[in-house]
Amino acid sequence: MGSFEGKGMVIQGLRFIPPKEALATLLDGVILVDLRSDELLEMKAFRVPEVIYIPHRELLRLVSKLPSDRPLLLADSSRVFTKDAAHLLLDRGFTQAACLNGGMLVWDQEGLPVATDPEAILHGECACVMRSCKERL
């Protein structure tokens, strides 16, 4: 696994990298594949050198757009979709794929670099009706 060898932990054949170790690999040339929806990207984005944005629902259709010769670190909000995404990539011949353990939630909690858009932060009385302050066209 090159860039991921000896990092994180392996569970059922998939490598999960904790955020601080992940940042070191990202600064060393690993590409972050952010699987979150556009709305979540607007609120808070990983601030790392190289990111490819593919919402998890589009991954199957867009998998051919990913570089198969580069190490890819899969990320989402809290590690919900990365496991399935990693299996998809490995099944299609990608040999250097790992998951960000804990996703953006833990990344942010550990104080790692993020870019935020205050207008896109969700506001509301209840999680079921929260909305962004940002105007949509």
pLDDT at 63: 97
How many domains would you assign to the chain? 1
- State the CATH number of the domain containing residue 87: 3.40.250.10
pLDDT, position 130: 45
pLDDT recorded at residue 42: 79
Model pLDDT, residue 79: 83
**Could you tell me the mean pLDDT of each successive run of 10 residues in the chain, 137 residues long?**
85 96 96 92 90 96 96 94 96 96 95 84 53 51
The verdict on residue 137 lying in a domain is no
Domain membership of residue 55 as a residue range: 2-132
**Please, what is the end-to-end C-alpha distance for the chain in angstroms?**
43
Q: What is the pLDDT, as a whole number, of residue 123? A: 52
* Measured CA distances, 100 to 2, 33, 73, 103, 113 (Å): 16, 10, 6, 5, 14
pTM of the predicted structure, to 2 decimals: 0.85
117/19 Cα distance (integer angstroms): 22
**pLDDT at residue 131 in the model:** 52
Proportion of the chain in helix, strand, coil states, percent, rounded to 5:
35, 25, 40
Report if residue 117 sits inside a domain.
Answer: yes
Residue 3 pLDDT: 85
d(CA 68, CA 58): 17
Rounded CA-CA distance 80/101 in Å is: 10
